[in-house]
Structure 1
Amino acid sequence: MRVTSNLYRTFWQLILTYNIPVSCSDGNLGPQGILVPGDILIGAVIPIHIDTLDKSVTFQEKPTSDICTKFLLQFYQQFQALRYAVEEINKSSDILPNTTLGFYAYDSCAAMRNELQGTLWMLTGLSQEIPNYRCQESPPLSAIIGHSKSTYSILMAHILGLYRFPQISCYSTSSLLSDRAQFPSFFRTVPSDVFQSRGLAQMVLHFKWTWVGLIASNDDYGFEGLKIIKDELIKGGACVAYTVYVATNQDYKNIPSIVQMIKESTANVIIAFSVDVFLIPLLDELLKQKVTGKHFVASEAWSVSNFLTLAKFSNILSGTIGFALQSSKIQGFQEYLNSVYPNNTPGIAWSKMFWEEAFNCSLSQPESQTQKLSNTKKKCIGDENLEYVQNGYNDVSTLRSSYNIYTSVYVTAKALNDLSLCQSLDGALLGSKCSGLKNFAPWQLSNGREVFFHNDGNPPAVYDLMNWQPGSDDTMKQVKVGSYDTLNSSGEIFSLNTSSVWWRTFNSEIPISVCSQICPVGFKKVVKKGEPVCCFQCIPCAQGEISNKTDSIDCWSCPWDMWPNSNRDKCILKSIEFLSYEDPLGIILAATSVLSSMVPILIFYLFILYKSTPIVRANNYSVSCVLLISLSLCLISALSFIGYPQPEKCLLRQAAFGLVFTLCVSCILAKTIIVVFAFMATKPGSNLKKWTTPRVPYMIITICTFIQLILCIFWLSIFPPFPQYNIEAKPGIIVVECNENSLFAFWCMLGYLGFLASVSFTVAFMARRLPDNFNEAKLITFSMLAFLSVWVYFIPASLSAQGKYTVAMEIFAILTSSWALVFCMFFPKCFIILFRPNMNSRENLMGKDRRRK
């Protein structure tokens, strides 16, 4: 549960009720605290151990102090960094000359009770810590360096802030501590989590991980860190698969359910914002449930942890990438560390623990303060050489927390030095007199600018990017692969050497963590109903649309004269289609049209040669010649439908086709009517004899053709056809065609032609039983039947065809219907003329007539 400021104030009121003793002690607190005297003191609440043995409370006796159990060499290095900085300053003639710095140091074991106890011990100056009371007036306490966690620092900052007592933390990164109204005297040498959280989110977005899980400790550090990360991820278009918090106490009942959620989630990347000790039970459960394939992003609190680099965690944590506090070097610190011996270091209890841990030996007693040593451990006397031991204590290759403690001592000393010189009094000392170093108020050091902090108490944010790579003995090593520097002069805040990053994937490729796979080009994203925006399905772009980038949220249409390629990622020019002379279909139809038009000419020539024969004369030679010429024109008119639709061609081709076919059908109608009139005029008393003159057929042909001419002139004048680009007929193709402009006029023209053919068919059908010498009525019946059948078929066929095939269908109808007339009307006559000349005689025709009678 997050601790609120009201709770802190309530707690403060409660502890004020303690009784204040009347005498002072020497300030020694046994193995947990030490005091090195000086003219001015600096307090340091730092963890030397990281775990405590909690005893059960019976409420029948006073609780005993917690027992610290796990001594860490790297934390002892931080204590030595404190000593080294104090000794350097005491030797320096530039900072605090003639003034000696001393320090308090307290081992908090990273436990809140101990953090509070150590802070009050330094403020009180008593073995029994008393709030709001200080027994020792001299030497003055200038500042306190601490505390180990953000939650603890918030608690201490409320207490220390009442008196503007400077507090400099080397560990606490919570963004809450940047509030100067609540924490006016809090400073830190580590950046605020605001920078880290934004940086982690930027790194996740850099790797295009849009579907991530969030894990944090359930304290101020975790709550505030995840809040900023989540906001930044959402701003960047990523989504959070789940958010869970790991308990910071020893009740790990929710760990199995958390791991089950991780296991079932499709998110392959997990941002863990916690300290290392809280992740250990989670990692153990991941091993127990055999969860693999997840990649961790580490916050600075565990990105360089030595606890988690064990071989058993390598299958889970190798490939981890995260932020770490910037590493630095301290000149001469390596030699200083190796010069430490148990008998030359303050804090005898700590030095013995360190020596036994460093050399794995027993120093003068079989049982140390933290653990019972095995009888198999060797004895040591305290003069062993640390230069031959490589461990977390004397490893100075990547100083982080130790360097921050070193810096904290120096900025405190610099603030004291400025105070002694009355420099920069535009801050807390504005309008005040200078104070001596023996008599100053702690609040006089609380000037953020003077101690090189920003106005919110934060230092500049600089992080190292660490990658966990396989090392020797199946353990892992932490390799720097980049940096995150908010003050980079080049403007490149985030820099990463991608080639040096190791991933736990095939060929060390960057892991993929998305809710839905990337939509390729030619597709668009459609969010799944009721799911985050990162969970979507890929829908192909609609016909005529493209998308030329991955994960496109929309497709856009191509220009009217362009069409998507097969991948639908770019527009290409549409192909143009028309029935051309280069097209095989066009060549066939053109050749058929030309060759077919020669047949009526040949028949016409044959009729000229045999114009005096009975069969030619009996079938109206003149009208037959006109019919043959019109049939040749009908067949050759098909050529006007082939080739690029020029404006002139579109204007005249349908009218020309209609007129020549009207002439053709009019000739047949004239022949039919003359046959009927000629037969009926032979009957006694018939009045039709006057209609059998040679002028009647020409009158019929002229009148019928003239009506069609008037229709065509009206059509071409009012609604002239024109060429057009049809982009709707066939996808991806521009069909160049003739627009008839008025379908009504077109169908009137075609309907009139059909009307003439129907009349001719009806009259011929009624005259089919006339004597054989007038047998042309039968031929006309068959020819008109074929003609009408072709055009009746053409209507639905033309409606179903598209593009050039519509034109081809009309040409086919023209050729077929023309051939039907040629075949039915003239082939029988030609056969008699050429192959049965004996039948082409007056006697034969008359003889047949008599036998029939």
Structure 2
Amino acid sequence: MEIRHFLLGLCAFCLFHRRASAESTCNLKAKFNLSGYKDVEKKKVVIGGMFPIHKRIASNDGNTLRLPVSSDCEGFNFRTFRWTQAMLFAINEINKREDLLPNTDLGYVIYDSCFTISKAVEGTLTYLTGQDEAVPNYRCGDGPPLAALVGAGGSDLSIATARILGLYHFPQVSYSSTCSALESKFQFPTFLRTIPNDKHQSTAIAKMVLHFGWTWVGTIAADDDYGKYGIKDFKEQVEEAGVCISFSETLPKVSSPEDIQRIVQTVVEATAKIIVVFSSDVDLSPLITELLRQNVTNRTWIATEAWVTSALMISLLGGTLGFAVKRASIPGFQRYLLDMDPYTDPLTEEFWETLFNCTLDYGRALRTSKQKARDVNGTLSGEVRGLPDGLCTGCESVAKLNNTYFDVSQLRITYSVYKAVYAVAHALHNLEHCKEGQGPFNGKDCADITDFEPWQLMYYLKNVRFKVPHTDEEIYFDKGDVEGFYEIINWQFSSNGEISYVIVGHYNGSAAPEDRMNILNDSIVWNSEVLEPPRSVCSENCQPGTRKGIRQGEPVCCFDCIPCADGEISNTSNARECILCGVDDWSNDAHDACVPKIIEFLAFGEPLGITLIVISAFGALVTISVVFIMNVGTPLVKANDALLSFSLLFSLVVTFLCSIFFLGQPQNWSCMTSQVALALGFAFCLSSIMSGYTLLPHCVESLTPLWAFYKDIFSFLYTQGIACGVWLIMLPPHSIKNTSAKNIKIILECDEGSVVFICCIFSYDILLALLAFIFAFIARKLEDNFSEGKCITFGMLVFFIVWISFVPAYLSTRGKFMVAVQIFAILASSFGLLTCIFLPKCYILLVKPECNTEEMMRPHAKTRDGTATGTSASLATAATEVNATISSMAIDD
């Protein structure tokens, strides 16, 4: 280990010794080829600068047969050349001030980075070492101390230079490097910038996309750190909010026609109408040129600060929206640009020759031959008028040219350069005017302005706070960054066809989240000069009443709108799920709101209810009229016992009227009353038929006491009453809301309370009906047919047919029609019994009163011709005539 340290020290000594010798063997093998500006003579402090004055480096032939030479630059950029002049202007302005660095003249060393990382590294090493043949980690040049580097242009250039400068804790103040990766103080400890961090811009673009409801956007990024980090931050934010990326393309750093054609094809085929571009104007220009050639104009572009005020794409991108850093006007700067002398250095000569598309050979020859002293308005003017094409003198008028170099209406990056120079100047001023004993360094020491270390100036730069001249904007660095403030720019064509940058809003990253973005929608002119924002969605919004159905294998923004099922709703657009309505509600036809279900019951006032009431009342009135028709004193009534007839008629009145209790909105009392009245009414009716009309003739013949049969009737009725009482006490019928029978309706109905009880109750009635039918069927064969067995048998058959038909009809209906079927069964069975039992009697009483005599009512009476007399014969005759009448009516019909 000691030997190793010794060898390293020996190498360092040798390197230093040989650097001091005339012929050095430790220099780099390739000499840097850098262009720029330099003024360090008699200056106390030097500020470095780096600007991408050219767009690219010239390609070399890759020849390895000769000494490698650093590549030249090509593609002069007037916009970035103006940035360079802004630094020179600011330094000249500071050197003239009495309140800022009054005892210190600032010098400068400015290099052209050619928008290329390799050139930026060359410039950085040359700036640090002080000579073109740079030896890393050595400064071999003499002269004033180096203060800071202003630059180096794009984010990828600044990242490369910041890694080198950070090794020496050398301050760097950037004017256009916005990449969010540069905020890492671990990687870039000495990097500061006067332009906002791209995290603010990515958030602002994301908010804009969400503001206009765009959910389907394309992205294009430069193949550098600026593009990659900017698009990455943007994607993370919009995708979290539900926005989908239609396509994502990367612009090549080296011109590639194949890649450009592929990207153009992607843009043409994509359905996204909004395209977000994180790129510089230099990288984007080839794509825009090809899009213009193919006339692809139906897209809306979202621009970043790197190209939002660039003049390279205005012919195509009318309606573009973008974010621009703060703008300011710099008094005297335009005059400074117009007063440029093209012969000061080779870079300015190239600018002039590119501007006027000429060569300055003739003008340079004039200066060399001392003819410049002649009258410019005389001989030289005449010579200018007669100059051959392609030659210029350097006296051409630049004021009339429409060039981005002279456009000072949108001084944004230029203003950022201006602020960066002033930040370094104010830090130097604070360093120079440090009071001994109150300094920030060891033992409260101060640094010497003529011999300070970079890390000492870095302290003052991090803590600098000043107001920019002419604008009063206060500048300070928060962990190396400034506040994220942007103006929202809309590209609009003026009446003369020129593009104007109209401010349509602001974004302030330091404000409250709800107040950060302010957009004047009515001021925006969109692509094709429409006033409405363009639509850019993969699928149109799902309206209320539908839900989003994701398409398999496609982004979540591509979906189908599926109608909500019955009973479900969605009351918002783009609902992911439908909401199930409550038990008492149902979805409306549009499925966008839950509405109360229709309450259904068989009401008194509706036509069906009125019809049933009329029929019930008619049946009861007919039954009551039979009571009055049946004169108690007549032989016919006496023959069948008037009390039993009246009890049967009374029970039929009860069954007719109990059907009315089934109508109306079910209540607990009506449910109990209707069921119990029906059960008791039929029990009374059937027990009367069974006890009186089937067993009474046998009772008369056998002289069985009549009261015994009345006792049987009341026994049957009493048994049914006890059962009904137990039912009502334990599990009585009650009203319920039936929500399951019909989706859109709530059926108000009566619940039996207990299936066992209701089956027992009505099984008892069925038992009575079966016994009555059996007894009537047997009684039909009694001697001389004295009884009414045949009529009762037919009546009971009607009763059974009605109730057997009732069961399937009842089970196949729902709601109020179930109640209607039940009432029809009650009325039909009641009318059947009334008609079959009492119609023949009424016929005799009303139509054949001559048959209502004692002789006719005798059980064994016969006429002289031997025909039967008595009740049986009379009823048989009456039945025969009734049947004949009914038959004739049918024939007449």
1:612 equivalent among 618, 622, 634: 634
- Which residue of the partner structure matches residue 690 of structure 2? 669
Contact 1:667 / 1:697 at 8 angstroms: preserved in 2? no
SS in 1 for 2:823: helix
- Which residue of the partner structure matches residue 598 of structure 1? 621
1:767-806 matches, cutoff 5 A: 767-768=779-780, 773-774=785-786, 776-806=788-818
2:830 equivalent among 818, 828, 838: 818
1:622 equivalent among 617, 640, 643: 643
Summarize deviations over 1:707-748 as a string: whole Å, max 9, x none: 211211121121122233333343354433332211221122
Matched pairs, number: 812
Asked whether 1:60 is paired with 2:81, we answer no
| Cα distance in 2, alignment partners of residues 281 and 782 from structure 1 | 105
Shift of 1:399: 0.6
| Cα distance in 2, alignment partners of residues 252 and 17 from structure 1 | 50
SS in 2 for 1:143: strand
Asked whether 1:302 is paired with 2:342, we answer no
1:165-176 matches, cutoff 5 A: 165-176=170-181
- Which residue of the partner structure matches residue 153 of structure 2? 148
- Which residue of the partner structure matches residue 750 of structure 1? 762
Shift of 1:238: 3.3
| Cα distance in 2, alignment partners of residues 250 and 366 from structure 1 | 36
Contact 2:609 / 2:663 at 8 angstroms: preserved in 1? yes
| Cα distance in 2, alignment partners of residues 150 and 420 from structure 1 | 31
1:774–1:300 CA distance, 2 compared to 1 (3 A)? farther
AA in 2 matched with 1:550: S
- Which residue of the partner structure matches residue 84 of structure 2? 79
- Which residue of the partner structure matches residue 531 of structure 2? 508
| Cα distance in 1, alignment partners of residues 697 and 89 from structure 2 | 136
| Cα distance in 2, alignment partners of residues 18 and 469 from structure 1 | 65
- Which residue of the partner structure matches residue 819 of structure 2? 807
- Which residue of the partner structure matches residue 463 of structure 2? 450
1:198–1:376 CA distance, 2 compared to 1 (3 A)? farther
Shift of 1:644: 3.2
| Cα distance in 1, alignment partners of residues 62 and 407 from structure 2 | 40
Contact 1:196 / 1:323 at 8 angstroms: preserved in 2? yes
- Which residue of the partner structure matches residue 217 of structure 2? 212
The worse-fitting range, judged by mean Cα deviation, of 804-813 and 839-848 is 839-848
| Cα distance in 2, alignment partners of residues 506 and 740 from structure 1 | 74
- Which residue of the partner structure matches residue 5 of structure 1? none
| Cα distance in 1, alignment partners of residues 207 and 697 from structure 2 | 99
1:595–1:269 CA distance, 2 compared to 1 (3 A)? same
1:426–1:326 CA distance, 2 compared to 1 (3 A)? farther
| Cα distance in 1, alignment partners of residues 688 and 437 from structure 2 | 122
AA in 1 matched with 2:740: E
SS in 2 for 1:446: helix
1:352 equivalent among 349, 354, 359: 349
2:515 equivalent among 492, 501, 504: 492
2:727 equivalent among 703, 715, 730: 715
| Cα distance in 2, alignment partners of residues 129 and 212 from structure 1 | 47
AA in 2 matched with 1:146: G
SS in 1 for 2:808: helix
Summarize deviations over 1:492-547 as a string: whole Å, max 9, x none: 22222222223338953233334443333344445555655545554555555544
1:759 equivalent among 761, 764, 771: 771
Summarize deviations over 1:414-463 as a string: whole Å, max 9, x none: 11111110169999735363333322223321124334453532222222
Counting aligned pairs with the same residue, the percent is: 39
1:19–1:498 CA distance, 2 compared to 1 (3 A)? farther
Asked whether 1:122 is paired with 2:119, we answer no
Summarize deviations over 1:273-299 as a string: whole Å, max 9, x none: 222333344446656787675433222
| Cα distance in 2, alignment partners of residues 573 and 539 from structure 1 | 24
The worse-fitting range, judged by mean Cα deviation, of 544-553 and 402-411 is 544-553
Shift of 1:308: 1.8
Asked whether 1:656 is paired with 2:653, we answer no
1:581–1:34 CA distance, 2 compared to 1 (3 A)? same
1:152–1:776 CA distance, 2 compared to 1 (3 A)? same
Contact 1:618 / 1:773 at 8 angstroms: preserved in 2? no
Summarize deviations over 1:576-614 as a string: whole Å, max 9, x none: 4333322232222222211221001111111127x5144
| Cα distance in 1, alignment partners of residues 223 and 16 from structure 2 | 31
Shift of 1:83: 1.7
1:377–1:819 CA distance, 2 compared to 1 (3 A)? farther
SS in 1 for 2:55: coil
Contact 1:24 / 1:136 at 8 angstroms: preserved in 2? no
Shift of 1:490: 10
1:254-653 matches, cutoff 5 A: 254-262=259-267, 265-283=270-288, 294-310=299-315, 314=316, 317-343=317-343, 346-347=344-345, 349-359=346-356, 363-364=360-361, 380-422=392-434, 429-431=441-443, 433-447=445-459, 448-452=461-465, 453-454=476-477, 456-471=479-494, 476-488=499-511, 492-504=515-527, 507-525=530-548, 527=550, 532-541=555-564, 543-556=566-579, 558=581, 560-608=583-631, 611-614=633-636, 616-653=637-674
Contact 2:463 / 2:477 at 8 angstroms: preserved in 1? no
TM-score (norm 2): 0.82
Contact 2:46 / 2:146 at 8 angstroms: preserved in 1? yes
1:292–1:331 CA distance, 2 compared to 1 (3 A)? closer
AA in 2 matched with 1:331: P
| Cα distance in 2, alignment partners of residues 652 and 759 from structure 1 | 26
- Which residue of the partner structure matches residue 35 of structure 1? 38
Contact 2:697 / 2:786 at 8 angstroms: preserved in 1? no
Contact 2:630 / 2:845 at 8 angstroms: preserved in 1? no
1:671-690 matches, cutoff 5 A: 671-674=692-695, 677=698, 689-690=702-703
| Cα distance in 2, alignment partners of residues 376 and 763 from structure 1 | 142
SS in 1 for 2:118: helix
Shift of 1:241: 4.2
